[in-house]
Amino acid sequence: MKTEICDQFGIDFPLFAFSHCRDVVAAVTNAGGFGVLGGTAYTPDQLDQELTWIDEQVKGKPYGVDIIVPAKFEGKGENLSFGQLAERIPEDFRGFINDLLAAHDIDVSDQPRMAASSLSGDTGASLLEVSLSHPIKLMANALGVPPDYMIEAGKQTGIPVAALVGAKEHAIKQVNAGVDLIVAQGTEAGGHCGEVTTLVLIPEVIEAIEAIGKPVPVLAAGGIVTGRQMAASVALGAAGAWTGSVWLTTEEAETAPYTVQKFLAATSRDTVRSAGRTGKPSRQLVSDWTDAWAPHEGGRQPLPLPLQNMIAEPVLRRIDKLAEGGHPGAQALATYFVGQGVGLMNKVKPAREVVLEFIEDYLAAAERLSRSLDD
Amino acid sequence: MKTEICDQFGIDFPLFAFSHCRDVVAAVTNAGGFGVLGGTAYTPDQLDQELTWIDEQVKGKPYGVDIIVPAKFEGKGENLSFGQLAERIPEDFRGFINDLLAAHDIDVSDQPRMAASSLSGDTGASLLEVSLSHPIKLMANALGVPPDYMIEAGKQTGIPVAALVGAKEHAIKQVNAGVDLIVAQGTEAGGHCGEVTTLVLIPEVIEAIEAIGKPVPVLAAGGIVTGRQMAASVALGAAGAWTGSVWLTTEEAETAPYTVQKFLAATSRDTVRSAGRTGKPSRQLVSDWTDAWAPHEGGRQPLPLPLQNMIAEPVLRRIDKLAEGGHPGAQALATYFVGQGVGLMNKVKPAREVVLEFIEDYLAAAERLSRSLDD
């Protein structure tokens, strides 16, 4: 099997797997796909350890690293300290969240501290430096135009730079900035996402970057959890698929058991695009937490990134722990980044098996389309 | 070219075209596709005339009729008069709309009367009766489970009954009710739509109706304005595509010139899913009107169907007329049902040419997918 990028990336099957879990990254790469480790949540030392482990597993086979460096965030360019950022959180905000927690029988006397948000972008450069000391074959930025130092590093090392976009205007900006691979991600995607669906976005992005004479390859992302959807993406003109959610219910993933059960039970209508977690709209499971924030009817307007994230993330981590322990109120509040494809994720499987099923399903879909041409 | 339904419907290419315009319906049918006339806005006499005209044009080639009969609406089963329904509209509602119009320099002294909503479902039976006196090859209901009399008519006449669904649960309900053809419509569709995207919904619906052992054919709908998107749908397992928006910018369509210009200029991000027009969420162009209603920030909660429609429709028709005449305030308020595919609609063409381009683009997409299998 082959699209324009298989040779470039040294892969058999143009399936890119984004995961925070090194085991998934290695398993996908070893099965002929391309694993991409989400590196943003690690310290530079931790990331170094994770990548060393992956290197031992994949023995030279290709993988990449994704580091979120948002193009826009509250306080950007102002060089604010954590404390100064924290001062921008309205006084009654903590009260609003405490009321929500109390209504779910969660003790609010022992409040988690606010967390410095990894989304504020200050650790990106050192994470990238660590990554470049490993034989990575792709560096990606999942939020906005990659920072200059990433584009520059790409030029110097020859390692392709990928960027995620949710609109054709952003794709044009990214290509003009020097990005080598566009991941066009539809609104059905888990995590940060735009409003345009994958089926519309892919042809729109491809048309737009062809029109400016810079036709870099485009991967389709958003809602893709099966080979037939990947085949559909290639029919649309994509060079392959970028996936995330589908790996959350693999055996290798570190997803907590309670969360896995929620994923397996969820239908595609159990997700919502909400800014209530990070301050930017991201798709996640519907819960009493997402219901508490606009645009849900009567919900409060979230703060901008990274303020919402600073206050919400530690609270949500505590909620996750309580939910795992069986706390009913916490279980009603718990939410997780996942795309609409969760409706098609109904069984826990090894990551390798997911790759093999993708290939089989892709072939069947190609055969189905080919058969439609017979008279 | 052939999928499972081409023989059943006597067509060369499984492209279904929904339009309110008889000229589009006839042109698509005559080009080898399947035209479907949206019949809800007509009186029974008018519909009879339209269908007679189509009969003369298509000379026995197949076409269908779509009549919207919503499964749920305010006052359903209560046998309310127009006046009784109108009494359920809150007193300050007219004031809210008048303020919005006045802020756009529109004279509010001469208010349009409320309109009896065709969406309240009372004329459906007589429209269907008229349709059945013509050689239609499909009857469709675009909103919820078709009424018993439509299912019954389908059984008696052998004419297939189609229904639009936006969720797999609805597909199961429809198939169990006896529907012969499911149109699974993603959130990117123009008009009434659900929340799940076409790329996720199609495999989810097909899997769900296979699981209950009633695998009726599924057409893909939502965002489809090109042959490559139709090919993607067939790769996903659909038997063809159901389209709507793409015909709005054809030469045959009766779309007003100002509206056509808005469509040609719009990108996929210029639509919104809002209940501000009919009381049920429907996708349309973003405008100051859609911004005035929730879930837009600070927007007012719309009334349920058909109340919102009764008050909004006459006002929006007046706005359309003023907008056509060049009134800037009305142009800012004017909105139109259209899907995200509007971003790919950039030129006015004859409907026949759109069909031929679909075929050509479908073939190219199938070829692209097939080529990806070469080693």
* Rounded Cα distance, A328 and B69, in Å: 41
As a whole number of angstroms, the distance between CA B65 and CA B20 comes to: 10
Q: Is residue A303 part of a domain?
A: yes
The answer to whether B277 and B317 have CB atoms below 8 angstroms apart is: no
SS3 A214: coil
Q: Rounded to whole angstroms, how far apart are CA atoms B133 and A228? A: 42
Judge whether B350 lies within some domain.
yes
Query: Cα–Cα distance between B82 and A340 in angstroms, integer?
Result: 40
Whether residues A325 and A281 share a domain: the answer is yes
Q: Are B196 and A268 in contact (CB under 8 A)?
A: yes
Q: Which residues of A touch B363 (CB under 8 A)?
A: 373
Give me the tens of pLDDT residue by residue for chain B, a chain 375 residues long.
777 899 999 999 999 999 999 999 999 999 999 999 999 889 999 999 999 999 999 999 999 999 977 666 677 777 777 788 888 888 888 899 999 999 999 998 877 777 766 555 567 889 999 999 999 999 999 777 888 889 999 999 999 999 999 999 999 999 999 999 999 999 999 999 999 999 999 999 999 999 999 889 999 999 999 999 999 999 999 999 999 999 999 999 999 999 999 999 999 999 999 999 999 999 999 999 999 999 888 899 999 988 999 899 999 999 999 999 999 999 999 999 999 999 999 999 999 999 999 999 999 999 999 999 986
Q: Is residue A342 part of a domain?
A: no
B21 and B160 part of one domain: yes
pLDDT in tens, A282-320: 999 999 999 999 988 889 999 998 899 989 999 999 999
Looking at the structure, do residues B362 and B316 belong to the same domain, yes or no?
no
* C-alpha closest to that of B242 among B257, B260, B222, B268: B222
Tokens of B277: 């027009």
* C-alpha distance from residue B246 to each of A355, A358, B175, B226, B350 (Å): 36, 32, 28, 8, 11
Number of domains in chain A: 2
Interfacial B residues in 298-327 facing A (CB < 8 Å): 301
Using alpha carbons, select from A347, A102, A342 the residue that is nearest to residue A243. Answer: A342
CB A283 within 8 A of CB A337: yes
Residue in A337, A185, A343 with CA at minimum distance from that of residue A274: A337
How far is Cα A179 from Cα A144, in angstroms, rounded to an integer? 11
Model confidence at A63, pLDDT cuts 50, 70, 90, reads very high
Tokens standing for A108?
Answer: 């609010």
For chains A and B, what is the number of CB pairs under 8 angstroms?
A: 183
In a domain, A208, yes or no: yes
Which uninterrupted H or E stretch holds B257?
A: helix B257-265
> Are B210 and B175 found together in one domain?
yes
For residues A99 and A203, membership in a common domain is answered with no
Q: Count the Cβ atoms, other than its own, within 10 Å of residue A17.
A: 28
Range of the domain at A289: 82-117+267-333
Residue B256 in any domain: the answer is no
A258 in a domain, yes or no? no
Please indicate, yes or no, if residue B8 is contained in any of the structural domains.
yes
CATH number at residue B41: 3.20.20.70
State whether A231 and A204 are in the same domain: yes
In chain A, the residue whose alpha carbon lies closest to the alpha carbon of B234 is: A369
Cα distance between the two ends of chain B: 26
CA distance B163 to B192: 13
B368 contact residues in A (CB cutoff 8 A): 234-235, 237
Do both B134 and B228 map to the same domain? yes
Domain assignment of residue A77, yes or no: no
Helix or strand holding residue A285 (H, E): strand A282-285
Q: Of chain A residues 255-284, which have a CB less than 8 A from chain B?
A: 267-269
A109 has a pLDDT exceeding 80: yes
- Co-location of A66 and A146 in the same domain: yes
Name the residue among A1, A232, A370 with its Cβ closest to that of B232.
A232
Within chain A, residue ranges assigned H as helices are 4-9, 22-30, 44-58, 82-86, 91-102, 124-132, 148-157, 168-177, 198-211, 227-236, 257-265, 288-291, 307-324, 328-333, 351-371
C-alpha to C-alpha distance for B22 and A293, rounded to whole angstroms: 45
For residue A146, the Cα-to-chain-centroid distance in whole angstroms is 15
Rounded CA separation B335/B256 (Å): 12
Please check whether residues A329 and A359 belong to one and the same domain.
Answer: no
Closest CA to A194 of A164, A216, A160, A174: A164
CA atoms within 13 A on the CB side of A43: 3
HEC letters along A133-189: CCCCCEEEECCCCCCHHHHHHHHHHCCCEEEEECCHHHHHHHHHHCCCEEEEECCCC
Of A341, A221, A368, the closest CA to residue B196 belongs to A341
- Residue B373 and residue A340: Cβ atoms within 8 Å? no
CB atoms B369 and A231 under 8 Å: yes
Of B223, B301, B369, the CB nearest to A199: B223
What gap in Å lies between CA A20 and CA A42, rounded to an integer? Answer: 9
* B187 to chain A: closest CA residue: A197
pLDDT, one tens digit per residue, over B7-64 is 999 999 999 999 999 999 999 999 999 999 999 889 999 999 999 999 999 999 999 9
For residues B350 and B308, membership in a common domain is answered with: no
- Tell me if A343 and B194 make a contact (CB, 8 A cut-off): no
| Same domain flag for B184 and B325 | no
Contact B201, B158 (CB under 8 A): no
A137 plus A67 within the same structural domain:
yes
